[in-house]
Amino acid sequence: MNFARRFEDHGVLITGGARGIGEATARRLAAEGARVLIADVDADQAARTAESIPGAESIGCDVADRTAVETAVAYAVERFGTLDVLVNNAFSCSPDTPLLEDQPDDTWYRDLDICLTGAFRCARAAVPHLAASGRGAIVNIGSVNAEQSFGNHAYSAAKAGLASLTRTLAADLSPRGVRVNQINPGTIRTRAWAGREAGLEALSRVYPLGRVGEPEDIAAAAAFLASRDAAWVTGTTLRVDGGLLAVNTAFAQAVGED
């Protein structure tokens, strides 16, 4: 597929970029001319992914580590001469215990640290360079869990907090020319669903558009929000969820069966 070259001469940093949504976003932005730094806690997989994307580079980075984040940002600027786009995609999603009172503190803190505080760390380190570029954009990858209950208490709370952070950062950074937006995906076919294809098939029936999402669906939205096509868009949360939150499919089916 041929794409527009909206990111020619742009430097891009994507956290959690080794697989899934992050990898698809790296491929999409690179296809549009960007030079992309894939930052991931799995440094080996990040390197393998970067090797398969023209113009991409990789670095091991744990967004829970401020020094690692600052090192990744500095490396992107050194290699590309600019940093124009930050995509905060790294996440942690811990399973809930059957009883809330058995949920340990460490899993709660980890999900918030990676999903929410990690995005803040990356933004804090990147902002001076994003502002200097004159076309800086931050795209945060959230979740429909931020808006409706789908389980995973800590992850959901973190993604809701990320939506709030998106708005406050947008307000704070707009005078410096940096736009900040969020994408809330629904169910996406990633390696987290490996071996559970039957579950994905069942889930597809509750989506008004009749399927679960693909990483490329989110990558396309990220490319829009990061580009100058969205030059007058900041502080927004864009649902890319196949209509999940707009339509109560189960209710409609139940009424239809009545």
CATH code, 11-196+213-244: 3.40.50.720
Tell me if 106 sits within 8 A of 34, measured CB to CB.
no
> Above 90 in pLDDT, residue 193?
no
* pTM attached to this predicted model: 0.95
pLDDT in tens, 78-113: 999 999 999 999 999 998 889 998 999 999 999 999
Lowest mean pLDDT among 22-26, 181-185, 199-203, 219-223: 199-203
Say what the pLDDT of residue 36 is: 98
Say what the pLDDT of residue 192 is: 82
- Known catalytic residues are 155, 159
Q: How confident is the model at residue 255 (pLDDT cuts 50, 70, 90)?
A: confident
Tell me if 82 sits within 8 A of 134, measured CB to CB.
no
What whole-number distance in Å separates Cα of residue 132 and Cα of residue 116? 25
What whole-number distance in Å separates Cα of residue 102 and Cα of residue 70? 36
Lowest mean pLDDT among 20-34, 161-175, 193-207: 193-207
What whole-number distance in Å separates Cα of residue 238 and Cα of residue 42? 28
> Above 70 in pLDDT, residue 240?
yes
